[in-house]
Chain A
Amino acid sequence: MEKILENWVTGITLGSIYALISIGMTMVYGLIKVLHVAHASVYVLGAFLGFSIYALTGNIWLAFPAAMAGCALVGYLIYSQIYQRVQDARADITFIISLGLFMAMADAFRLIAGPYSLSFSHTFSFPGYQSGILKITPEQLLVIGSSVLLMGVVWWVVNKTKTGLAWKASAQDREVAMGLGLKVNYYFGLNFIFGSALAGIAGVLVGIYYGQVNPNMGFLWSYKVFVVMVLGGLGNVLGTVIASYFLGIAESFTISYFGYFLPRDAIAFILMIIVLIFLPSGVMGRRQRI
């Protein structure tokens, strides 16, 4: 019984992490139909920024806004300097550009911060949760709590604000939206800023949860993001969130009961391919964009 509860907690925590990283990327995809691989670099940047601020000030709570601000800025730069210039290029070209950026940034991190993992641990003043055999560590609480909060924010922005409406309109049909006078580029930029800030927070949280940041951490999570995005329907925020938790929980249980019959990423991808065979547009499909 304890094992089952542990797997639920681990799974939900993992799912929260996947969700936070994926939301930004799926939102970008919904708008400009580009697989923004470099999003993983933004997330790593967030982790490093958070770590640096924490190392400098000793205040863990300052790490979050620092990461958000830094990533928002970088996200906007990536959009304005790169994606905006290749708006009408073929998708695979833009994908390779994003990939090149990702590789360059990963190496830049290595050159600046060194190849070693940096320890990022903090003992929190608030306790974990323990009730009988259910145990949740403070870090897990932080991750799950932050995700729920942020997801609420995302839902509110997407569904209850003018910005969200603009996003949905541009996602549906960019030309028409422009024709109707919508400042599409402005909203695209906003989207990048928003998604990147989320990635920044995700980076800090992952850094704290595993107690380390290193230049290669982007590689580890970026593949999961693809799986989650596909399962949830590319561009579909709600689907992505549901898929994230589903994947996190499914992985934890599968590994617990069956072990690694394949590396973790391969397991996730097999799951994805099976789903795709039956539902070629993901679980939520194209029914709802953003």
Chain B
Amino acid sequence: MRSIVIMLCAILLLVPVLAFGADEIKVGYHVPLTGWAAADGQSSLRGAQLAVKFINAAGGINGKKINLIYYDDRVEAKEAVIVARKLIESDKVVGVVSGSYSTPTRAAAPIFNQSKVPYVSTIGTHPEIPVDRKYVIQVAVMSEIHGKVGAKMAAEKLKAKTADLLIMDNDFGMAVTDGFRKMAPTFGIKILNEYKYPLGEKDFRSLLGNIKNDNPDVLWASGYYEEAAQICKQAKEMGVKATIIGQEGYDSPYLFKLGGDAVNGVVITTSLDRGSNRPATKKFFAEFLKDYKIAGDQVAAQAFDGVNVLATGLRKGGSDPDKIVAAITELKNFEDAATGPIMYFAQNQVAIRPIVAQMVKNLAFTSFFITNDKALITP
């Protein structure tokens, strides 16, 4: 017993020193640097750091440079909670961008909201993240929208009448499919069968055999680029004829590296149009390639956009959280986004943007389809 009392006293001796900043603007960032999502984490961080570099090179925010303070959250809710507290109190940031997936973002959102720290989500797409939290801003495309647009695109451009669904079992995979399922009847697509698979699965042959027997026109397959590469390769190997439709999770140069030729002909729904001539898009990819010697991906582009959106808010709103959020949600036709223009912000601080489809030709994404249809692109 004594030992425990003495130990608890010893803890109080562990008091780390709080840091103070000079004349700079501190922006917080949390991202999975280690763990199973380290790959996306690295992309995300790079995108964010590139944005900070651009902003600082152009004079910073009202003359002050941005200091991006980032922490590892390992895609764990409890890490995000600790990191959120640290950013708010120890680092005293004026705004935070989440470069992480839905779970940590969803866990941290209420904390930032309660402390009135503007919080921008870039790839966390959990529908509850910004709801009833006025300081939380959603820049990522809500998952369902992919599905809804995907259905229209499949019917109009791919002339599809039948579809099979191959669903990744996490929140992202299921939500994008919900959208497709909902809209498919409207566009005359009949869903033949649904197959769910666990996140991280590498072997789809058993399911693909069934899909081959169903013989649908298109295969709506949700997944990240690793799963996608395997799905495409194995589908081709087994002779599945359907056109595979993916979503922004596929968007990464690694899709081509890991999937090879099997990926040609695949279509994805996303907000990033690589075939576009928009200066923001071109500049982002050119600079990313130059700095990091590897092509940028969706995750990096979204992170880039998130930081830029927050910076815009900081420019106009200073350090007043209400003004910062207002400055952001009032944006119309924000063209500085690398992924695509943000048309406006809807209810619950959700960014609305046109959704595109890209087709893979010769191992590159090319423009295929675009829509501004309000019914589809608003959550």
**Chain A interfacial positions (CB closer than 8 Å to B):** 2-3, 6-7, 10, 14, 107, 110, 114-119, 121, 137, 210-212, 214-216, 219-220, 251-253, 255-256, 259-260, 263-265
Instruction: List which B229-254 residues lie within 8 A (CB) of chain A.
Output: 229-230, 233, 237-238, 254
A260-B258 in contact (CB<8A): no
B210 in the interface, Cβ–Cβ < 8 Å? Answer: yes
Shortest beta-carbon distance from B224 to chain A in Å: 11
Known: A6-B238, A263-B198, A264-B201. A119 touches B257 (CB 8 A): yes
Residues of A near B229 (CB, < 8 A) are 211-212
Tell me, in angstroms, the Cα distance from A259 to B210 when the chains sit together.
10
Tell me, in angstroms, the Cα distance from A284 to B229 when the chains sit together.
39
Return the CB mask of B189-232 against A: 1 if under 8 Å, else 0.
Answer: 00000011110111101110110010000000000001001100
Tell me, in angstroms, the Cα distance from A108 to B25 when the chains sit together.
34
Residues of B near A3 (CB, < 8 A) are 209-210, 213
User: What residue of chain B has the Cβ atom nearest to residue A217's Cβ?
Assistant: B202
10 A-B pairs with least C-beta separation: A115-B38, A263-B198, A256-B206, A115-B39, A255-B206, A10-B205, A119-B257, A3-B209, A6-B209, A116-B39
User: What residue of chain B has the Cβ atom nearest to residue A261's Cβ?
Assistant: B196
Shortest beta-carbon distance from A261 to chain B in Å: 9
B36 in the interface, Cβ–Cβ < 8 Å? Answer: yes
With contacts A216-B36, A260-B196 known, what are 17 further pairs, Cβ within 8 A?
A2-B209, A3-B209, A6-B238, A10-B203, A14-B203, A110-B38, A115-B41, A117-B258, A119-B258, A211-B260, A212-B258, A220-B202, A256-B210, A259-B195, A259-B196, A260-B197, A265-B198
Tell me, in angstroms, the Cα distance from A259 to B198 when the chains sit together.
11
Instruction: List which B161-204 residues lie within 8 A (CB) of chain A.
Output: 169, 195-198, 200-203
User: What residue of chain B has the Cβ atom nearest to residue A262's Cβ?
Assistant: B198
Tell me, in angstroms, the Cα distance from A252 to B213 when the chains sit together.
16
Shortest beta-carbon distance from B29 to chain A in Å: 17
- Max chain B CB contacts within 10 Å: which of A2, A10, A253? A10
Instruction: List which B35-82 residues lie within 8 A (CB) of chain A.
Output: 36, 38-39, 41-42
Known: A137-B237, A211-B258, A212-B229. A252 touches B39 (CB 8 A): no
Residues of B near A115 (CB, < 8 A) are 38-39, 41-42
Shortest beta-carbon distance from B166 to chain A in Å: 11
Tell me, in angstroms, the Cα distance from A273 to B165 when the chains sit together.
31
Known: A115-B41, A116-B39, A263-B169. A256 touches B258 (CB 8 A): no
B34 in the interface, Cβ–Cβ < 8 Å? Answer: yes
B198-A260 in contact (CB<8A): yes
Known: A119-B258, A260-B169. A252 touches B205 (CB 8 A): yes
Residues of A near B207 (CB, < 8 A) are 255-256, 259
User: What residue of chain B has the Cβ atom nearest to residue A216's Cβ?
Assistant: B36
Shortest beta-carbon distance from B34 to chain A in Å: 6
Residues of A near B42 (CB, < 8 A) are 114-116
- Max chain B CB contacts within 10 Å: which of A211, A219, A251, A253? A211
Residues of A near B197 (CB, < 8 A) are 260
User: What residue of chain B has the Cβ atom nearest to residue A110's Cβ?
Assistant: B38
